[in-house]
Structure 1
Amino acid sequence: MSRTAADVVIIGAGIHGCSTALHCALRGMSVVLLEKDHAGRHASGVNAGGVRQLARHVAEIPLSLHSMAIWRRVADLVDDDCGFVSDGQILVAETEEELAAYRKRVEDLRLRGFTHEEMIDGDELRRLAPAIAESCPGGVVSRQDGAAIPFRATQAFKRKAVSLGVDLREGVRVTGVRADGGRWVVETPDGAIVAPKVVNAAGAWAGRLAESLGEPVPVEAIAPMLMITGRVEPFIRPVVILRGRKLSFKQFANGTVLIGGGHLGRAFPDENRTELDWAKLAQSARTVWELFPIMRSATIVRAWAGIEARMSDDLPVFGPSARHDGLFHQFGFSAHGFQLGPGAGAVMAELVATGSTNVPIDGLRIQRFQA
């Protein structure tokens, strides 16, 4: 029988909601996890699967490092390795000017105590990625980074959470959230659930919930696009990313190559759908053509896009509400939240259970948008 009361209600069953539910259950809390579609339907199931600490905003790095420690033992946590491989990620510089900017960043990170990013010259770049164009002078590597399979990972976190007693309700839309004394009432077509704590992990729809509770933030729904090719002879193991020209590039063990990087289609969140922008996909294909000559005979077999939430500053809203006791926000991961999911769930569960965390999250709190 479905619960009508719980210790915490979590809205949204992407990898963040599922991870938070799992970690709350591990702390002995009763949890109701609500999802209007199915777990991993949007951002968590359709992203590129990058598991990277590389090239993150300084405000995100502590959470990213915390999450990477969980990725390294993810099979012990959720009884599935989630397809996680750790072959490194490389941020490639296409010009000497880019390389100089990256060097300045790495030096700054060293001064802050972060050592996961390492400068590499052209020789080391081509040792790690032999097929890359000779014109690239070097880059930055994070050797412990890698990739996983997004839908598989989300389902693994979901299954483990359910096995620990989480009451997951898929296909159930939240129609309202209101405070009632010292508790929250979460309304659904199937009835209300009452809880002292609520976590807003509703992805591209989370901004509406925050606004309805008096905490509007600058968030928009976006549709990052991805392509995958037919099989190509194995030629690269690390994930390669570009910043000047948008690209994320990963070859799987079966030879297929995933091409992403941030080019956007069109998102229609009210209709639960996306549309591809074929001209921008062609730009991605051209970038691959120029950077990896070995790919010039490859065939694109499929392209897709998912709906994600992007904040105006590209940083997530993460932490307690600035206005309401018992309300927590966990959304707006701006197309780079997959790697953060395991760690964010653990930290959010800690916040829900204890009200505090030792992981620095001050730069991610919703208060930054209050004027």
Structure 2
Amino acid sequence: MSAAASTSDVLVIGGGLQGLSSALHLARRGCSVRLLEADYCGRHASGVNAGGVRTVDRHLAEVPLSVAARALWHRLPELVDEPAGFVPSGQLKLAETPDELLTLQERVATLNVMGFTHERLIGPAEVRELVPSLTPRITGAIWAEDDGYAYPFGVVTAFRRAAQRRGVQLHEGTPAQRIERVGSLWQVHTPQGRFEAPHLVNTAGAWAGEIARQAGEPVPIEAGGLMLMVTTRVEPFVNPVLGATGRALSFKQFGNGTVVIGGGLRCKADAVARHGEVDMLQLARSAHTVTDLFPHLQGLSINRAWAGVEGFMPDQIPVIGPSRTQPGLVHAFGFSAHGFELSPIVGQIVAELVLDGASTLPIAPFAIDRFASSTPTTRH
């Protein structure tokens, strides 16, 4: 591969939604972009999530980003030039006890002080108006009427096609083995040859810690497995996306009648083999949560389940920002099982950092050097 053939304005490592969104936003602003993906685009965290477009219950540092991202979801066809399957169903965060309801009340009060009103506390009567088939023991909920869901594979495909239409060159089956800064260029060495660019974007998911380590910025990222399961078809019974306060749950019914059950369900992962192992016992516990909330689903069959690999940070919020040690390097990784909704705005932020040197949204809490006082490592 000649140097001319492998040179672009920006190299993006990682073909999940964060990488595809970053590549698309950069290309829309006139950059030539190459994206390097070790497997195929959307193979891991981007393909093993429940598709929730969720602002509800975000870490407070993520709230401004999630609200900005949701605005992009509502006009996503303008970004990707085609329908992307976003369904504005709304989302409920359910309370099942008085103590859980108090937790939700405190949450909404905190957001109101911050100036955000997108999460609204509602009582059990309004919950049952929205979802009549729910168990009657619900004590209340947070309702975010502009939230919703999308089909992850469809979104990945839409971002991929939009990026390619804008000239992004995708190199799948091309793992980044080694990076180095040579003069004014970043060089990325792969089994398919060497790629060069003055700007490098690290969106390598669970493997991003190794890229950061090679740049002199080791972080305590942990590779973990994520699981998802889908049932056979059942008659329509719920419109909003549902989450629970006291237990892990992300639950929705797609238009074809299948029920998707997720919610950050963890399992074992082998980052070296790039493989997550489905844990049927953990899936069974989540299935029981669903039947607790909807007793009429007793006996509904699971059609399939699958797993992928995600990067988790100790504080459960991502790294988004410029390198603190190297010029021309931007990081966006460690989304800890809740990056799907953020992906449209993360791409915009990455493009701003690369081309403008600053983000228009507050990203200080996501700085890569926030772990500098510890002894960071990449854990598998």
- The interval holding the TM-score normalised by the smaller chain is over 0.9
Structure 2 distance, partners of 1:160, 1:291, is: 39
Structure 2 residues without counterparts, runs of 5 or longer: 374-380
Instruction: State the TM-score, normalized to the length of structure 1.
Output: 0.98
Structure 1 distance, partners of 2:185, 2:348, is: 23
- Residue 220 of structure 2 corresponds to which residue in structure 1? 218
Runs of 4+ that moved beyond 4 A = none
Which region of structure 1 is more displaced relative to structure 2, 117-126 or 58-67?
58-67
- Residue 172 of structure 1 corresponds to which residue in structure 2? 174
The 8 Å contact of residues 3 and 32 in structure 1, kept in 2 or not, is answered as no
Structure 1 residues without counterparts, runs of 5 or longer: none
- Residue 376 of structure 2 corresponds to which residue in structure 1? none
The CA RMSD over aligned residues, in Å, is 1.2
- Picking from 142, 145, 153, the partner of 1:143 is 145
Q: What amino acid sits opposite 1:149 in the alignment?
A: Y
Tell whether 2:235 aligns with 1:233: yes
Q: What amino acid sits opposite 2:223 in the alignment?
A: A
Aligned-residue offset at 1:181: 2.1
What are the equivalent positions in structure 2 for 1:245-284 lying under 5 Å apart?
245-284=247-286
Aligned-residue offset at 1:133: 1.0
Structure 2 distance, partners of 1:118, 1:237, is: 18
What are the equivalent positions in structure 2 for 1:145-160 lying under 5 Å apart?
145-160=147-162
Q: What amino acid sits opposite 1:147 in the alignment?
A: Y
The 8 Å contact of residues 47 and 306 in structure 1, kept in 2 or not, is answered as no
- Residue 37 of structure 2 corresponds to which residue in structure 1? 35
Structure 2 distance, partners of 1:34, 1:116, is: 37
- Residue 117 of structure 2 corresponds to which residue in structure 1? 115
Q: What amino acid sits opposite 1:43 in the alignment?
A: A
- Identical aligned residues as a percent: 50
- Residue 203 of structure 1 corresponds to which residue in structure 2? 205
Q: Give the 3-state SS of the residue equivalent to 1:286 in structure 2.
A: helix
Q: What amino acid sits opposite 1:118 in the alignment?
A: R
The 8 Å contact of residues 324 and 369 in structure 2, kept in 1 or not, is answered as yes
Aligned-residue offset at 1:36: 0.8
- Residue 23 of structure 2 corresponds to which residue in structure 1? 21
The 8 Å contact of residues 225 and 303 in structure 1, kept in 2 or not, is answered as yes
- Picking from 329, 332, 335, the partner of 1:330 is 332
Q: Give the 3-state SS of the residue equivalent to 2:361 in structure 1.
A: coil
1:259-306 Cα offsets, whole Å, 9 max, x none, are 111221211111121211111111111111111112113111111111
- Picking from 334, 342, 345, the partner of 2:344 is 342
Q: What amino acid sits opposite 2:218 in the alignment?
A: P
- Picking from 358, 361, 369, the partner of 1:356 is 358
Structure 1 distance, partners of 2:97, 2:217, is: 42
What are the equivalent positions in structure 2 for 1:69-80 lying under 5 Å apart?
69-80=71-82
Structure 2 distance, partners of 1:129, 1:294, is: 13
Instruction: State the TM-score, normalized to the length of structure 2.
Output: 0.95
Tell whether 2:85 aligns with 1:83: yes
